[in-house]
Structure 1
Amino acid sequence: MTIEPPAPGEPRRPLGPRDPGDAWVVRGDGTRYWGRFGAAGLLAIDADRGVLLQHRVAWSHHGDTWALPGGARHEGESACDGALREAAEEAGVPAGAVRPRLLSVLDLEVWTYATLVADVVAPFEPVISDPESRELAWVPVDAVESYLLHPGFAASWPALRSLLAVRPAVVVDVANVMGAVPDGWWRDRAGAAERLIARLTALAEVGVSAERIGLPADTWFPQWLAVVEGQAARVASGGAVEVVAAPGSGDDEIVAQASRLASAGRTVTVVTSDRELARRVTDAGATARGARWLLDQLPA
């Protein structure tokens, strides 16, 4: 558990066990940042209740302000893992209760702060579980700016808020992507589809760079749909990847899924190198990307 030390001049509190990351980073101008390996926080979004904020105790750095549950990252820890661990330690956020949507990183060269924006998929009540919190509360999005915010969070909130309405989805034409790699997939279409979906699942866990998907921020975790047909239609969903078995034409199902998602206000990318299908999904409000766009990102 990361316990941030008191602000200068405040009484010192017991810190307990310390991680090597629990230390200040000091810039040349004397500005201090908590977390030798950077810091991370969780912006949990509940569709009905708003965002989860932490009221910091007075003795903490920038005390008596509201911010996100978060703190120093451990050595070798990813930003996402650090944000989720800190949220569990400071606010009792249960494992699996949130699904990552995007990661936004403030990079000050000597120090970074990563904000993991995640949707609540299993509602929970936050629990004060360390001495740094005075209060934890779900705050409506429109009311956040009425609170006395931590300076760092106050500076980042306008940009983060503008991204809350963006919900990307990627629809994959599995047959077309498989066909782009001459690895003998035609001998076992179902097996080849399973291997591709396993690689999609691995990509879904690490996210897609903002540059790749044409969105702001740093990393996005889109909703993934893999449309299969024919012999591959028996493939099961792969956790983070929803497998959609086309009852008839795979192309028609892809267009239907793209149209449904776009109509719901989602930012939709369809992965296919089929020119006619690309034209159809573009007309439905999606962006078409060729198979190579996806293959270049997939883990081996």
Structure 2
Amino acid sequence: MAENSLGAVGRRPHGSGDAWVTASDGRKFWGTFGAAGLLVHDDRGVLLQLRVEWSHHGGTWGLPGGARHEGESAVRGALREAYEEAGVPADALELEFTSVLDIGIWSYTTVGVRATRAFDAVIGDAESIELRWVPIDEVDSLPLHPGFAARWPSLKSLLQNSISVVVDSANVIGSRPNGWWKDRAGAAANLLDSLADRADEGIPGTLLGLDVDVYWPSIVAVLEGQGRNAPDRQVRDSARTLADGIRSPEIVVARAEGEGDESIVDIADSRLNAGDTVLVVTADAELRRRVESLGCFTRGTVWLTGMLGASSVASQ
């Protein structure tokens, strides 16, 4: 629990989006340009905020968050609000997903993040009575904000089921006749660079079978043969800094000592045993059969190259 007292902390100045939006049935929603909240978790649980009585649905527990500013992205808005309300440092976070509730005239985006290092939550304005790290299985025991309560079951599932995407790089590179055989290491390096860009942008939830807008999975790229000589620099230091200091998930480069298929099977099995949902990208029928027998999902190379673009597997 974060022990905080309100003391002399007061209300913040109004921002450009701080106003009510009224629906045709009379319901009111806070935020001219929509709102966003930050669902941050670590080994302690989920960081929740007890809302002050005078606020909308006061006396209930919810996420640090609030109205987005004009032109502000949902991720940036959630980070800003969480920092102002609870002192959450963006550079201690790694993106996991964004989940959007859109009712037409107004939207609310939940930004799911994992804390990569411990930090103390500190009340930053008059909108909070208390901040508390709540174990995931105990969240339901609290009086929750109605909107958060309605979405909590699906959000809880997302927090408890991480996704790893394991890429059969040689198979992806070889799926297009673009001259990759002239420079296999260069083609592998180019693929890694494109994967790094995709790691920043995330993957549309629909392509992963998830009811979220965007999901940021852990990506493992398995290199074999001459492709193993691709330079590390193409991964751009794996997890890179994004908006306001938040980071994308790490890209793991696995250089197979022998056959790439054996490494892919071993990595997939290890990730499954760690509790991840594992998706393997390959068009190799035998490899797909092997990993599916372990409990993995599979997608063909077109699934990935369609997201990365035509240049992703071209030789440099």
- For normalisation by structure 1, the TM-score amounts to 0.89
Q: Which residue of 1 aligns with 2:307?
A: 297
Residues 118 and 292 from structure 1, CA distance in 2 versus in 1: closer, same or farther, beyond 3 angstroms?
same
Q: 1:1-300 counterparts in 2 under 5 A?
A: 15-16=12-13, 18-47=14-43, 49-234=44-229, 235-236=231-232, 237-238=235-236, 239=238, 240-298=250-308
Alpha-carbon distance between aligned partners in 2 of 1:212 and 1:96, rounded to the nearest angstrom:
28
Q: Matched residue of 1:297: which SS?
A: helix
* 2:11–2:126 Cα contact (<8 Å) kept: no
Q: Where is the helix percentage greater, Structure 1 or Structure 2?
A: 2
Alpha-carbon distance between aligned partners in 2 of 1:21 and 1:191, rounded to the nearest angstrom:
47
Q: Which residue of 2 aligns with 1:7?
A: none
Q: Which has the higher contact order (CA 8 A, sep 6+)?
A: 2
Please give the root-mean-square deviation of Cα atoms over the aligned residues, in Å: 1.8
What does the per-residue CA deviation read over 1:168-201, in whole Å, with 9 as the maximum and x for residues that have no partner?
1100111111111222222222222222112112
What does the per-residue CA deviation read over 1:253-286, in whole Å, with 9 as the maximum and x for residues that have no partner?
1111111111222111111111121112112221
Q: Which residue of 2 aligns with 1:4?
A: none
Residues 296 and 180 from structure 1, CA distance in 2 versus in 1: closer, same or farther, beyond 3 angstroms?
same
Alpha-carbon distance between aligned partners in 2 of 1:113 and 1:97, rounded to the nearest angstrom:
23
Residue identity opposite 2:192 in structure 1: I
Work out the percentage of aligned pairs sharing the same amino acid: 52
Number of equivalent positions: 286
Shift of residue 146, structure 1, vs aligned partner: 2.2
Structure 1 residue runs of 4+, over 3 Å off? none
* 1:128–1:135 Cα contact (<8 Å) kept: yes
Alpha-carbon distance between aligned partners in 2 of 1:257 and 1:294, rounded to the nearest angstrom:
19
- For normalisation by structure 2, the TM-score amounts to 0.85
Residues 189 and 89 from structure 1, CA distance in 2 versus in 1: closer, same or farther, beyond 3 angstroms?
farther
Q: Matched residue of 1:296: which SS?
A: helix
Alpha-carbon distance between aligned partners in 2 of 1:41 and 1:57, rounded to the nearest angstrom:
16
Q: Matched residue of 2:29: which SS?
A: strand
Alpha-carbon distance between aligned partners in 1 of 2:149 and 2:179, rounded to the nearest angstrom:
54
Q: Which runs of 5+ in 2 are unaligned?
A: 1-9, 239-249, 312-316
Shift of residue 14, structure 1, vs aligned partner: 5.5
Alpha-carbon distance between aligned partners in 2 of 1:207 and 1:90, rounded to the nearest angstrom:
27
Alpha-carbon distance between aligned partners in 2 of 1:125 and 1:117, rounded to the nearest angstrom:
18
* 1:43–1:51 Cα contact (<8 Å) kept: yes
Shift of residue 15, structure 1, vs aligned partner: 4.6
Alpha-carbon distance between aligned partners in 1 of 2:182 and 2:80, rounded to the nearest angstrom:
44
Q: Matched residue of 2:39: which SS?
A: strand
Residue identity opposite 1:252 in structure 2: E
What does the per-residue CA deviation read over 1:180-237, in whole Å, with 9 as the maximum and x for residues that have no partner?
1222222222222222112112212222222211233332211110111222224324
* 1:261–1:268 Cα contact (<8 Å) kept: yes
Residue identity opposite 1:292 in structure 2: V
Q: Matched residue of 2:110: which SS?
A: strand
Q: Matched residue of 1:216: which SS?
A: coil
Alpha-carbon distance between aligned partners in 1 of 2:73 and 2:307, rounded to the nearest angstrom:
19
